Chain A
Amino acid sequence: MRVRAMAAALVAGVLAVTASACSSGSDAKVPSDPSKVSGTVTMWIYPINEKIENTWWKSRIAAFEKKYSKVNVKVVVQPWANRDEQLTTAIAGGKGPDVVYLIPDQIPQYANTGALADVSDVVAKDKGDFRQNALAAMTYQDKLYGVPMLMSVTATVANKKVLAKAGIDAPPATWDEALADGAKLKKKGLYLTDYVASPDATLNQTFYPLLWQAGGTVLSPDGKKAAFNSPAGVKALTFVKTLVDRGYVPKDSLTVTPKPDQSVLCTGKAAFGFASATAEVTICPGYQASDWQVAAPLQESKSVSYGTVGGLSVLSGSKNAAAAKAWVQWISSPSQLKQFDLDHGYSSTRTSQGSLLADQPLVGESEKYLGDMKTGVTNAAAPRQLMDVIKPHLQAALLGKVSVKQALADAEKDANKQLARG
């Protein structure tokens, strides 16, 4: 992990130098006349839905090229694995794609080095139609660097069969109710939930939601200082430590990330996922939608959870940035976006499309929390590297090696060093 972080830092440095030298795409605007734009647009996408990704785009490209007859679009489905290494190397070598699918964690990392073009003009006509938190997730230092294409939200997902075994009527709404349920479940030899503290876990679905629920934030508003070492942070980590100490979560998950379909939630040994996407339980052995229930995210001072946004960014090094922006605008137009989200099984980033998945079990229920979800750290240059320096300290506290306060203080120190590096 340390080698990866070192490499990422170096790559970021190289990127900064390279990106500053090639900013042809930064100034290009969306063309108003389709006949005036030409060139080849290469888009890198990832298998968001493995069943359709290699075929879905063909008809869309054909339709787009009918309208933009001088533009040629190539969609390349790339692997998720090592995507940052691949993208940073390609950008540094001046061979990056014109358009790439990015998630909020990646936006600051690439925007900070000047690798992304401002795409405000792409959504200028109907900016008000996009959900504000989706746009915020793709914004860095007041500039929009990605057009949001899909959204999902994590909520409280409950296994009704497990609840029934412990005599619990409804999922908890607050931390206190969760602790009370934990005691009931433990008596029956069951876990309340799963908390994964291993190095490869994401804090977006573990610690951050609890921190937000306690009223805290990860960073200061300007993104320059760690803010999680606060009363809210202490409260959140103490809550998790209580879950661990009382045996309400499995100890194994503090050091090893279970395979999704082998987690205690999936195998019927835990009652709740407190920051779980409903899709996570559909891969559980013997999955029946009727066995599951979705409830609001937990509340301490407020009810909030994590959600994801995926969007299309235009690279500033693109030689055909105007054509690239035209393609992104076209594919994110209401009718195309709706089909994209429906076929990929995600919620729409446009409010005018309402609840796209309302008729689907579980996910339809969770859609109502879309408007309130947060997408992790979006105001710092390297959110993932930041997570990497925070995680070991949180894990140390949960394993009983240091106190909660000490862990947060140590994490704050390392996080501030990381933030200072930019």
Chain B
Amino acid sequence: MDRVARKSRRNRRRLWAHLPLAIVAVATIIPFYVMIVLSLRKGRSLSLPDALLPFHVNFGAYADVLAHAQVVRWMLNTAAYSVISVVLVLVFASFAAYAFAKKRFFGRNAMFWTLLATLMVPYHLTLIPQFILISKMDGLDTLWGLIVPTLANTQALFLMRQFIMGIPDELIEAARIDGAGEIRLFWQIVLPQTKPILATLGVFVFLWHWNDFLWPLVATRSPDHYVLTVGLNSLQAQDSSLTVTMAGAVLTFLPILLVYVLLQRYFVRGVTMSGLK
């Protein structure tokens, strides 16, 4: 009897402990719920809060968005921009982070802190020089012109460096004593240790690129080269219907959700380990 009572008390305590989490979870989910439900409404006029009840589902707004011949092309452009960027950003960030974390060279700290200081510069101030640079290299309206300026990602470098610093020097030294060269050392010893942070960064970098608007807006010149955010915006008048806007938002959001679901296991581990170190 005692055991049952103890279990019951424990369950009650757990319930109270989980209640705030449940409230936060619901609050987080509400915007997504609103986005999805409003995307399933019909017409321009919405009567809130009635329109938030999940009845009278209508896919007209999705049909409106997808009816545009170029939407699929914009999705492919966005996928190419995001996936290629993720791969290259991770490659460059991990190389640089390894050097900053484990190598000794003149001016290492000064270089690193200078790089970090660039995070303080508002993006708008670098936009024009970046545009002129890419323009002079004939990169406007090209996929590489979109990707190249985003590759030196200081935030990714910082997170990777912090993670790699946590890898014991002894491990690297042992491999070196065993005859591993620099490339093998990085490829077979360091990189496998960084899988969680690579997955975490992969999600973040994918998200940044998938949602990126301003750089693709100024760097692309023709609708054939638009990414999804720019393309969908170019279809909307200033007083566009909320339902179509929401349908566009859902279509933009789905791939991000998919990436998150696929990498969730690594993502949580990466965040946890980064927090502990």
Chain A contacts to B: CB under 8 angstroms: 3-4, 6-7, 10-11, 14, 47-50, 53-54, 74, 76-82, 85-86, 88-90, 92-95, 259-262, 267, 279-280, 283-287
Contacts and interface: CB of A to CB of B under 8 A. Distances in A.
Given A261-B44, A285-B45, A50 B235 contact: yes
A86 B216 CA distance: 10
A50 B222 CA distance: 18
B236 A50 contact: yes
Contact of B124 (A4, A53, A260, A283): A4
Interface string B238-254: 11111000000000000
A157 to B, nearest CB: 15
Nearest to A7: B124
Given A48-B237, A77-B234, A82-B217, A287 B128 contact: no
B239 A94 contact: no
Contacts of A10: 124-125
Given A80-B238, A279-B239, A92 B46 contact: no
A95 B219 CA distance: 10
Nearest to B135: A93
A58 to B, nearest CB: 13
B221 interface: yes
Contacts of B233: 79-81
Contact of B122 (A6, A79, A284): A6
Given A6-B122, A86-B217, A285-B47, A80 B131 contact: no
A286 B50 CA distance: 13
Contacts of B164: none
Interface string B110-132: 00000000000010110110011
A11 B124 contact: yes
A283 B48 CA distance: 13
- Residue among B44, B122, B128, B132 with the most chain A CB within 10 A? B128
30 contacts: A3-B122, A3-B124, A6-B122, A7-B122, A10-B124, A47-B237, A48-B237, A50-B236, A50-B237, A50-B240, A54-B68, A76-B221, A77-B223, A78-B234, A80-B237, A81-B213, A85-B217, A88-B128, A89-B131, A92-B132, A93-B132, A93-B135, A95-B135, A262-B48, A283-B44, A283-B45, A285-B45, A285-B46, A286-B45, A286-B47
Interface in B41-86: 44-48, 68
Nearest to A51: B237
Q: Which of A79, A92, A260, A267 has the most CB of B within 10 A?
A: A79
Given A76-B222, A283-B45, A93 B128 contact: yes
Nearest to B133: A93
Nearest to B124: A7
A11 B129 CA distance: 11
Given A92-B132, A279-B239, A79 B125 contact: no
A406 B236 CA distance: 41
Contacts of B218: 85-86, 89-90
B140 interface: yes
A283 B45 CA distance: 5
Closest 6 CB pairs of A and B: A79-B233, A7-B124, A50-B237, A285-B47, A285-B45, A93-B131
Given A47-B236, A85-B127, 12 more contacts: A47-B240, A80-B237, A82-B217, A85-B217, A86-B217, A92-B132, A93-B131, A259-B242, A262-B46, A279-B239, A283-B44, A283-B239
Contacts of B222: 74, 76
A386 B45 CA distance: 34
Contact of B213 (A6, A74, A78, A82): A82
B128 A11 contact: yes
Contacts of A53: 237
A23 B140 CA distance: 22
B89 interface: no
Nearest to B127: A89
Contacts of B214: 82, 85
B199 interface: no
B40 interface: no
Contacts of A261: 44-46, 242
Given A7-B125, A50-B240, A286-B45, A94 B235 contact: no
A262 B230 CA distance: 26
Nearest to B69: A54
Contacts of A85: 124, 127, 214, 217-218
Contacts of B44: 261, 283
B230 to A, nearest CB: 6
A260 to B, nearest CB: 6
Given A82-B213, A93-B135, A14 B235 contact: no
B255 to A, nearest CB: 20
A4 B68 CA distance: 33
A383 to B, nearest CB: 18
Nearest to B230: A79
